[in-house]
């Protein structure tokens, strides 16, 4: 009788997901609330056929070369810029991610961040908590309207379209977007969405939401030059990946009021946050929690587990990532 495939779960995860995997494979878990650095991850992966990861574990060419038994890298995240897919593919390792299951939850959160930035919710809460609220005035924390404003979306994939639906159908917003390719007319029409070039997007958007995947091509897609094109009354929200926005340039733009406000759920070098972002008042900051509901995170983890079970038992993966 062949032994069960061996799987390493590289981070703490819901107990029910561990138990599901244990019914099909031998499981080694990371029971500490820490992320293993690459060298330790390599050492722990020896003798394992599959690995369960999220958005931060470094699955690079060095690791792949050092783990010859590895057959599957299955992530509970949608983004996979932490995984060298080409290196995995070259060695016959299947890579999977977790699309679809977090679309609406992330869109909800992205829209909430945009609203918070536009209406200065975090800024006014800090003011209240500090005991400085003494009187009311007509211009007290006046922000920007969201209803009937122009919503600009950079990256019109599943999450971008879900945010557009919320804006167009719920808030009567005019939707413009920039994407590598234009959506089919049947997707644009219900939203009244209009494809524009990137410069037009930046110039016309009252509220810019960034949901483009991270890659070398999208690194610092929003930097000082792009921020300079935006309206001084505009807001910027990033629920994509850290590195798509130049955090230092954004902090400067906020400090100099070149744009009105920003909201970020992702950061360059997270969990570190650029000190200049922490020093400006007109920003909403959250620790990469856009998909963080119990139901959605469970679905994400379950999909990664089911991908591991399928691949390691000779079946097709449910959501493969192609090199």
User: Which amino acids are annotated catalytic?
Assistant: 241, 270, 288
Contact assessment for residue 178 and residue 197, using Cβ atoms and an 8 Å cutoff? yes
The CA–CA distances, whole Å, from 212 to 53, 180, 219, 274 equal: 21, 10, 10, 21
Copy the structure tokens of residue 229: 């094109």
Contacting residues for 272 by C-beta, under 8 A, at least 6 apart: none
Dist CA 174 CA 149 (whole Å): 6
Rounded to a whole number of angstroms, the distance between the first and last alpha carbons of the chain is 34
Dist CA 117 CA 235 (whole Å): 7
Dist CA 75 CA 317 (whole Å): 12
């Amino acid at each position: 009788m062949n032994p069960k495939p061996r799987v390493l779960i590289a981070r703490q995860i819901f107990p029910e997901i561990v138990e599901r995997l244990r019914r099909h494979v031998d499981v080694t878990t990371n029971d500490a609330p820490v992320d293993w650095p690459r060298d330790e991850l390599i050492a722990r992966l020896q003798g394992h056929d599959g690995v369960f990861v999220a958005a931060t574990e470094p699955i690079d060419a060095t690791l792949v070369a050092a783990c010859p038994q590895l057959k599957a890298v299955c992530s509970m995240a949608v983004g996979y810029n932490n995984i060298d897919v080409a290196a995995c593919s070259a060695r016959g390792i299947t890579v999977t991610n977790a699309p679809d299951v977090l679309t609406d939850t992330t869109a909800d959160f992205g829209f909430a961040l945009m609203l918070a930035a536009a209406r200065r919710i975090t800024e006014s809460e800090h003011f209240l908590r500090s005991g400085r609220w003494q009187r009311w005035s007509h211009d007290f924390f006046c922000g920007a309207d969201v209803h009937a404003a122009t919503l600009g979306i950079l990256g019109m994939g599943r999450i971008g379209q879900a945010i557009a639906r919320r804006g167009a159908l719920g808030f009567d917003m005019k939707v413009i977007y920039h994407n590598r390719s234009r959506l089919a007319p049947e997707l644009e029409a219900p939203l009244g969405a209009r494809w524009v070039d990137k410069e037009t997007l930046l110039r016309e958007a009252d509220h810019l939401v960034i949901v483009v995947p991270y890659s070398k091509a999208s690194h610092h897609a929003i930097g000082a030059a792009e921020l300079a094109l935006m309206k001084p009354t505009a807001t910027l929200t990033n629920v994509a990946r850290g590195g798509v926005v130049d955090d230092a340039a954004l902090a400067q733009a906020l400090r100099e009021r070149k744009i009105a406000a920003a909201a970020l759920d992702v950061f360059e070098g997270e969990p570190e946050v650029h000190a200049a972002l922490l020093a400006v008042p007109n920003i909403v900051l959250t620790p990469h929690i856009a998909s963080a509901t119990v139901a959605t995170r469970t679905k994400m983890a379950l999909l990664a587990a089911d991908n591991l079970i399928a691949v390691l038992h000779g079946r097709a993966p449910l959501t493969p990532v192609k090199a």
